Amino acid sequence: MQKAIIGKKVGMTQIFDESGKVIPVTVIEAGPCVVTQKKTIEKDGYSAVQLGFGDVKESKLSKPELGHLKKAEVAPKKHLKEFRLEKAEEMNVGDEVKASVFTLGERVDVTGISKGHGYEGPIKRCGGHRTPMTHGGGPVHRQAGSMGSTSSPSRIFKGHNGAGQMGVEQVTIENLEVVKVDDELNLIALRGAIPGAKGSIVYLKNTVKNVKAKGAAANASINPQKASARMNPQKASARNR
């Protein structure tokens, strides 16, 4: 992981590119974040930094949290998150991380807590189907139905689809493109949607996906026998015989 930052979801909107096409984007208030703690290999066994985001009153924090931030000589922060960055050893406590750490065209992974939907049934929660509405179906059209076999194993396996609490889970959306970065307002616009409600906290970091550039050679065949006549003169001469 090379870059990371803590942000707050502002909402969705749309912007226009140079050719006039509409791009649906999610606006994130990314930072400014402050390094509140530094982990080193000599002392902790690994290299990482802890970032703090969002100013808050001292009365809103517990004494351990307040003491931790006072030790770092940092203003009280509401949200803390540790990231294992490759260049963590070069960063120091008190350094500031802003939205400008990401540039236009980069790909990021966004982690957040999904919206809560309360207690939902198997149709909405797991994508199930209802039973036929005719021929004596009875008042069980949206129930789960059969969940297991007979006397063996005589139980429902753990993790089976069914009714239960829906949402409020950690979700990561990978490989989102950075469409716009506003250094003055600390705003980042990402193409597409991200998990969470407006005002929820999200974490941005470099994508784990291996993005390959699209081009003429991207889909070119390695086998010369499968190449087209334009690329393989022998194949073209064979057709003209």
- With respect to residue 146, please indicate whether it lies within any of the assigned structural domains: yes
Instruction: Judge residue 194's burial from the number of C-beta atoms within 10 Å of its C-beta, 0-12 exposed, 13-18 middle, 19 or more buried.
Output: buried
List the domain range (segments joined by +) for residue 159.
Answer: 120-166
Within a domain: 113: no
Give pLDDT, residue 158.
85
Residue 234 contacts residue 42 (beta carbons within 8 Å):
no
Cis peptide bond upstream of 32, omega within 30: yes
In a domain, 138, yes or no: yes
Q: pLDDT, tens digit, for every residue of 59-98?
A: 999 999 999 998 888 889 999 999 998 888 888 888 888 9
Summarised one tens digit per residue, pLDDT across range 22-45 is 999 999 999 799 999 998 899 889
Long-range pairs for 177-182: beta carbons < 8 A, 24 or more residues apart: 177/105, 177/106, 177/107, 178/102, 178/103, 178/104, 178/105, 178/106, 178/107, 178/108, 179/15, 179/23, 179/25, 179/104, 180/15, 180/25, 180/104, 181/99, 181/100, 181/102, 181/103, 181/104, 182/99
Q: Does residue 161 fall inside a structural domain?
A: yes
Q: At residue 17, does pLDDT exceed 60?
A: yes
Q: Would you state the pLDDT for residue 88?
A: 84
In a domain, 143, yes or no: yes
Q: Is residue 144 part of a domain?
A: yes
Is the pTM here over 0.95, yes or no?
no
> What six digits make up the tokens of 76?
């009280």
What is the reported pLDDT for 8?
A: 94
Q: Is residue 147 part of a domain?
A: yes
Q: What's the mean per-residue pLDDT of the chain?
A: 85
Domain membership of residue 133 (yes or no) is yes
* Number of domains observed in the structure of the chain: 1
